[in-house]
Amino acid sequence: MLPKRLQLRTFPGHFYQNRAIIPLMEHLHLKHVPYRDKITCESIFLQIFSFGGYCSGEIVDPDQPIDIHMLDTNTYRWMFVKAHGCEADADNRMEEDDMEPLRSLPYQRYGHTVCAYRGRAYLWGGRNDDYGASSTLHEFDPVLLRWRIVPVEGRVPPARDGHSAVVVGDRMFLFGGFEEDLQRFSQETYVFDFLTNRWSEFNTTGQPPLWRDFHTAVAIDSKMYIFGGRSDHTGQFHSTRDMYDERLKALNLRTGEWSDPICNGTGPTGRRSHSAWTYGGKMYIFGGYLGTQNMHYDDLFSFDPQTNHWEKIKTSGPMPSPRRRQCTVVVGSRVFLFGGTMPVKNSSGTPSGLADLADLYVLDYAPSLKHLAAGVVLRNNYHKTYANYIPHDLNRELWAMTTPNAISTPLTQRHDATG
């Protein structure tokens, strides 16, 4: 019989979720998950879809469409998704498009955004070195596995990458980024109405955030919060004199007014290519890169808009390594974090480049007793020592949390410092 201290029992629901519990961070030792940075992800139907990004040493055919991977959040299995496209005719009727697939399938890219709306994913912007930046809006149907170009009207935002996008109600709000044609940082806000398929520039008042790219935006209630990103001392044009603003900006999406929350507590320093998400009415910030100090971060902060209070968060379990360009997605009470790049040091301890990451971490705000016990079992390798004593269904779950996927190329190192 399994020793009493190792017995696992399943309890219905999160029976203590209203108590003050430190969030649990789990590192799932799954090798060969997608090696990607500057990746964009979205959760649809409890599944996480990742779109594009890039990894070192990978030879990318610019005529190939953007790649898609899907993570089953119950089994922790990654799968490659093969999508097809369709094209609108003169009457906007959608037909299968076999002759010119790239007309409806977005090309491989990075620095784009993907937002979910009514069970579908909407991809906008981003760039690659062959085709440059895009201003076409693409819609992905996760049931039919089909792309289509959304026919739009109005004032389409100039093509760019490194922007942010959030969906509130029936509208998608887009801010910032680096514009391709004018080679400038943006501080404008655009809005897309899903009901009318119409773009427009969102008229705002007050002082907007500095021109920037690779910042984050989240929506809480009727406000959009902008944090971080890379700006320039000269303003909207890039002179390589980077600056990093640590001030939080808020845009009232009803009135269009920008404001500067008077914050208290311990907040994050300025950074770019970090992650941001919301849970329980709060905003969370993780990781990122401060270029002026060549510093990568592995810290976690929360911001409460009710009190304007910043707090540095401690979690139980192992933290992800310092990194930037990672992806984070909230599914229920869990945050899935994967990918990105981390600094590599040479034998003398001096940073010598960046390495792509293919690890997976899960931050659980309301861990069940079952998940807490599973964490203890995995950390102590009890799933190997006492495998014959663990119930079959639990063994299966432990297997899923530790068995490598098989869809990625080996880890490689590079020496770029952009994004």
Indicate whether 94 pLDDT > 50. Answer: no
Lowest mean pLDDT among 174-188, 233-247, 374-388: 374-388
Give the pLDDT score at 44. 80
Q: How confident is the model at residue 185 (pLDDT cuts 50, 70, 90)?
A: very high
Indicate whether 151 pLDDT > 80. Answer: yes
* 4 or 121: which leads in pLDDT: 121
Give the pLDDT score at 407. 66
Strand blocks (E) in 206-257: 216-220, 223-227, 231-232, 242-243, 249-252
* CA distances from residue 318 to 33, 69, 101, 192, 369 in whole angstroms, order as listed: 19, 25, 43, 40, 18
Q: Convert the pLDDT of each residue in 277-325 to its tens digit.
A: 999 999 999 999 999 999 999 999 999 999 999 999 999 888 999 999 9
Give the pLDDT score at 419. 66
Give the pLDDT score at 325. 94
Give the pLDDT score at 30. 55
Rounded Cα–Cα distance for residues 353 and 340 (Å): 13
User: Cβ(274)–Cβ(216) under 8 Å?
Assistant: yes
Q: How confident is the model at residue 57 (pLDDT cuts 50, 70, 90)?
A: low
Give the pLDDT score at 36. 52
Burial level of 79, CB count in 10 A (0-12/13-18/19+)?
middle
Lowest mean pLDDT among 24-28, 71-75, 109-113, 393-397: 24-28
Q: Taking Cα atoms as reference points, which of 93, 125, 89 lies closest to residue 109?
A: 125
Can you give the pTM of this predicted structure? 0.85
End-to-end CA distance of the chain: 54
User: Cβ(126)–Cβ(135) under 8 Å?
Assistant: no
Q: Taking Cα atoms as reference points, which of 325, 303, 324 lies closest to residue 312?
A: 303
Indicate whether 68 pLDDT > 80. Answer: yes
Q: How confident is the model at residue 409 (pLDDT cuts 50, 70, 90)?
A: very low
Indicate whether 12 pLDDT > 60. Answer: no
Indicate whether 251 pLDDT > 90. Answer: yes
Give the pLDDT score at 19. 32
* 39 or 220: which leads in pLDDT: 220
Proportion of the chain above pLDDT 70, given as a percent: 83
Indicate whether 410 pLDDT > 60. Answer: no
Q: Taking Cα atoms as reference points, which of 330, 325, 198, 189 lies closest to residue 250?
A: 189
- 38-52 b/e with 16+ CB inside 10 Å = b? bbbbbbbeebbbbbb
Please give the mean pLDDT across all residues of the chain. 85
Rounded Cα–Cα distance for residues 175 and 165 (Å): 6
Q: Taking Cα atoms as reference points, which of 232, 230, 222 lies closest to residue 246?
A: 230
β-strand pairing of 84-88 with 77-81: unpaired
Q: Convert the pLDDT of each residue in 324-354 to its tens digit.
A: 999 999 999 999 999 999 988 877 777 678 8
* 405 or 272: which leads in pLDDT: 272
Q: How confident is the model at residue 101 (pLDDT cuts 50, 70, 90)?
A: very low
Q: In what order do the strands lie in the sheet containing 309-312?
A: 264-265, 309-312, 295-304, 282-290, 275-279
- In eight-state DSSP terms, residue 154 is E
Q: Which helix (H) or strand (E) holds 374?
A: helix 369-379
Rounded Cα–Cα distance for residues 52 and 231 (Å): 25
Give the pLDDT score at 216. 99
Sign of CA dihedral 104, 51, 84, 44: negative
Q: How confident is the model at residue 376 (pLDDT cuts 50, 70, 90)?
A: confident
User: Cβ(38)–Cβ(419) under 8 Å?
Assistant: yes
Rounded Cα–Cα distance for residues 364 and 366 (Å): 6
Give the pLDDT score at 391. 87
Q: How far is CA 359 from the centre of its chain?
A: 14
